[in-house]
């Protein structure tokens, strides 16, 4: 149910992680990382250096859909993990990365 968006069960988390693994094997994803652009900072990287990131994390109700899965460089990925949401927003504003 959408109104319990912060209340994600372990089973849902497992399901979405499994879906993400499938997406990672898809042609869509290899084309996505093949472009080599980090979604957040907009810089170019070799495909091997880009990781799959959920824009809205699974634990906050994010799904493993094309709209929510983006390539992220390691630096952005780490920042997203360790920054507070508000600090992350500030980081994005200063980077002015590619938005879709
Ligand atoms: Zn980046």
Spell out the domain ranges in the chain.
10-15+23-95
* Cα 33 to ligand 1 centroid, rounded to whole Å: 12
pTM above 0.95, yes or no: no
Positive or negative torsion for Cα 91, 93, 95, 97: positive
* Cα 72 to ligand 1 centroid, rounded to whole Å: 5
* Cα 86 to ligand 1 centroid, rounded to whole Å: 17
CB 34 within 8 A of CB 49: no
Tens-binned pLDDT, residue by residue, of the chain (100 aa): 455 556 789 999 999 999 999 999 999 999 999 999 999 999 999 999 999 999 999 988 999 999 999 999 999 999 999 998 899 999 998 876 555 4
Domain 10-15+23-95 has what CATH class?
mainly alpha
* Cα 40 to ligand 1 centroid, rounded to whole Å: 5
């Amino acid at each position: 149910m959408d109104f319990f968006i912060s209340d994600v069960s372990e089973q849902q988390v497992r399901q979405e992680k499994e879906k993400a693994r499938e997406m990672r094997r898809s042609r869509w994803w290899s084309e996505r990382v093949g472009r080599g652009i980090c979604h957040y900072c907009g810089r170019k990287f070799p495909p091997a250096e880009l990781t799959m990131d959920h824009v809205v994390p699974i634990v906050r109700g994010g799904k493993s859909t094309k709209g929510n899965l983006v390539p992220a460089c390691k630096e952005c990925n780490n920042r997203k993990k360790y920054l507070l949401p508000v600090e992350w927003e500030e980081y994005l504003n200063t980077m002015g990365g590619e938005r879709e």
